[in-house]
Structure 1
Amino acid sequence: MKRIIAPVLAALFIGACAHKEEAPVVTAPPAPPAPTKAQAVLKAAKGSKIKGTVHFTEENGEIKVETMIDGLKAGPHGFHIHEVGTCEGDFTSAGGHFNPTNSKHGSLTSADRHVGDMGNLMADKKGKGNTTITIKGSLSGTDGIIGKSIIVHKGKDDLKSQPAGNAGAREACGVIEAM
């Protein structure tokens, strides 16, 4: 009996030692969906009374840009997305126009234009710049605008001067943030 039990116990012992525990499969949680809405709250330059908000809504590879701005001088104002999301001092901290494709400066309808070129924002006689435009682009990703800044310039963008349209001083700035 000892002869039969010993090999059976040895086989069970070896079998038990040879058993490997499988590591549990750990799956990463799904990535959150990319934001489809963003906004920028404008900060006025020293001596300016501009205030307002710019809303961005992404849909089908385009971004609807809605402006609700007060305190502007009547007429056109250069209106651009700039490459850095900071609004300090005279707003030069916002850098140049957002231009990940290294394109030339142009109008909103130009075939070759900076991603940040949005033409001119028209202010009425009461100093309101309330408008809606649509631009090609995305809110997130490598060429996304979240984390960039929006600038309203003092003067009119001539839509052709390189590299930025000769629109003058930066009168208002806001960082574009996901909602």
Structure 2
Amino acid sequence: MNRWKLLAAIGFLMAILAGCGNQNADQEAENGDTGATEDKAAEEATDAGEDAEGTGTDQDTDTEEGTDQEGQEVTVKLNDVEGAEVGTAVLTANEDGGVHVDMKVSNLPEGPHAFHIHEKGACEAPDFESAGGHYNPEDKDHGKNSENGPHAGDFDNIEVGEDGTAHVEFDTDQVTLDENADNTLFTAEGTSLVIHGGEDDYESQPAGDAGPRIACGVIEK
């Protein structure tokens, strides 16, 4: 009888130990699943961070690429030989690197007048000869009707009305506001806008037989 009791006790003890083992195995499996889930979450967070960082880099690049010359604007005030202000020209950088010119003048003689960019940023009255010749970085001849023309600073004549005013607006790819370009208006000596007393014939050398300089304005940032 004692023998059977002993065997029963041993069996009961083995059952308890087996149950504990299964419980520990289940706990370890559960812990393993939890660890895998946490590892996966950490990995996804890292990927998200890298994606966000990459997006930020793209945005920074786009911003940097957008900081070109387009939209840059320069206002030039033109004075006559007496020193009185007779007009304003607004030069704006175009998308293609050229320049949009919007000029309004008043108190000028009626009729056609030559209008050029000159090679020096100086407007000393009474003759404005300090502005030098036409802006000509490519060493061409004057005038759009010349075989080897025009100068980069050559523009069409403006027409002043009976009231002494004129408003001209046009685009040119002959010059730029980009300081790194060969045809930039921001040269070491500077540049200026000049209006002449007569009209430009678009071919006479070196300045189109346009007569005296009656208005001048320095182009500066």
Tell me the distance in 2 between the aligned counterparts of 1:107 and 1:74: 24
The structure with more strand, counted as a fraction of residues: 1
Match of 2:86 among 51, 54, 57: 51
Q: Give structure 1 regions of 4+ aligned residues with deviation exceeding 3 angstroms.
A: 32-35
Instruction: Kindly report the root-mean-square deviation, in angstroms, between the aligned alpha carbons of the 2 structures.
Output: 2.3
Gaps of 5+ in 1: 1-29
How far the C-alpha of 1:39 sits from its partner, in A, is 1.8
Q: CA offsets, 1:107-135, max 9 Å, x none?
A: 39x88310100121111111111110111
Counting only pairs closer than 5 Å after superposition, residues 98-117 of structure 1 correspond to structure 2 as 98-107=135-144, 112-117=149-154
Identify the structure with bigger relative contact order (alpha carbons < 8 Å, sequence gap 6+). 1
Tell me the distance in 2 between the aligned counterparts of 1:150 and 1:164: 14
SS at match of 1:93: helix
Q: CA offsets, 1:59-95, max 9 Å, x none?
A: 1122111111001111110000000000012100000
Tell me the distance in 1 between the aligned counterparts of 2:148 and 2:177: 20
How far the C-alpha of 1:161 sits from its partner, in A, is 0.2
Percent of paired sites with the same residue: 38
Tell me the distance in 1 between the aligned counterparts of 2:128 and 2:112: 19
Match of 1:80 among 106, 116, 139: 116
Tell me the distance in 1 between the aligned counterparts of 2:97 and 2:84: 34
Q: CA offsets, 1:126-176, max 9 Å, x none?
A: 111111011112113232113310000001111110111010000000001
Match of 1:62 among 85, 98, 108: 98
Conserved? CA contact 2:97–2:178, under 8 Å: no
Counting only pairs closer than 5 Å after superposition, residues 1-179 of structure 1 correspond to structure 2 as 34=69, 36-46=72-82, 51-59=86-94, 60-89=96-125, 90-107=127-144, 112-136=149-173, 137-141=175-179, 142-146=182-186, 147-178=190-221
Shift in CA distance, 127/50, structure 1 to aligned 2, threshold 3 Å: farther
Tell me the TM-score normalized by structure 2.
Answer: 0.61
The structure with more helix, counted as a fraction of residues: 2
Conserved? CA contact 1:56–1:66, under 8 Å: yes
Tell me the TM-score normalized by structure 1.
Answer: 0.74
Conserved? CA contact 1:106–1:159, under 8 Å: yes
* Larger of the two Rg values belongs to structure: 2
> What residue identity is the alignment partner of 1:144?
T
